[in-house]
């Protein structure tokens, strides 16, 4: 009877510690990324025009101040082939306490066709995973990276 009670207490302590470290790691990762997001050194966008096409290269610095490895990936799950839009999937794994750079590219083969499309959206998704415990996926519009150049 005492052995079962002792085992139950030990198991409860281990579970609380495991969840506590995961939540702490998620908190410091979120704080580190959100603080750096407003810093211009955190990201860079380089636009290259070639006739009627444009390539947008985005570099993001991903800090990991947490206790577990962090995997970040960016993708365009449904590129707009009709408008000549393609995206390069990018992924980076950042070990605990380190910083890595994530680089991805968006190519618009025909800017005139892209500008004339009804929706100048490029659907993108960002996946952030605290390995191997939890992950979050966010969807957003990457079209604004291209629109800023085409409207200038």
* pLDDT score for 95: 92
Place of tokens 């890595």: 100
> d(Cα 11, Cα 80) in Å, to the nearest integer?
51
> How far is the C-alpha of 135 from the C-alpha of 126, rounded, in Å?
10
Closest by Cα among 74, 105, 66, 79 to 91: 74
Instruction: Give the residue ranges of DSSP H helices in the chain.
Output: 2-37, 111-116, 143-150
Domains and CATH numbers, the chain: 2-150 (2.60.40)
Residue pointed to by tokens 């990018």: 90
Work out the pLDDT band at 80, boundaries 50, 70, 90. low
Q: Which helix (H) or strand (E) holds 104?
A: strand 99-108
pLDDT tens across 19-33, in order?
A: 888 888 888 888 877
| pLDDT tens for each residue of 92-135 | 999 988 989 889 888 888 777 777 665 667 777 888 888 777 77
- Rounded distance between C-alpha atoms, residue 13 and residue 21, angstroms: 12
Q: List phi, psi (to 5°) of 142.
A: -90, -5
pTM (predicted TM-score):
0.69
């Amino acid at each position: 009877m005492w052995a079962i009670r002792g085992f139950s207490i030990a198991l409860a302590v281990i579970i609380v510690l495991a969840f506590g470290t995961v939540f702490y790691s998620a908190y410091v990762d979120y704080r580190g990324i959100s603080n750096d997001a407003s810093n211009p050194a955190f990201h860079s966008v380089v636009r290259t025009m070639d006739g009627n096409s444009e390539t947008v290269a985005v570099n993001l610095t991903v800090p990991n101040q947490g206790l577990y490895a962090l995997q970040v990936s960016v993708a365009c799950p449904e590129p707009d082939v009709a408008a000549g839009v393609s995206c390069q999937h990018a992924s980076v794994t950042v070990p605990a306490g380190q910083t890595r750079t994530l680089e991805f590219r968006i190519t618009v083969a025909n800017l005139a066709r892209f500008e004339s499309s009804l929706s100048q959206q490029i659907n993108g998704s960002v996946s952030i995973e605290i390995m191997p415990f939890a992950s979050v996926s966010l969807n957003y519009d990457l079209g604004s990276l291209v629109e800023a150049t085409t409207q200038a």
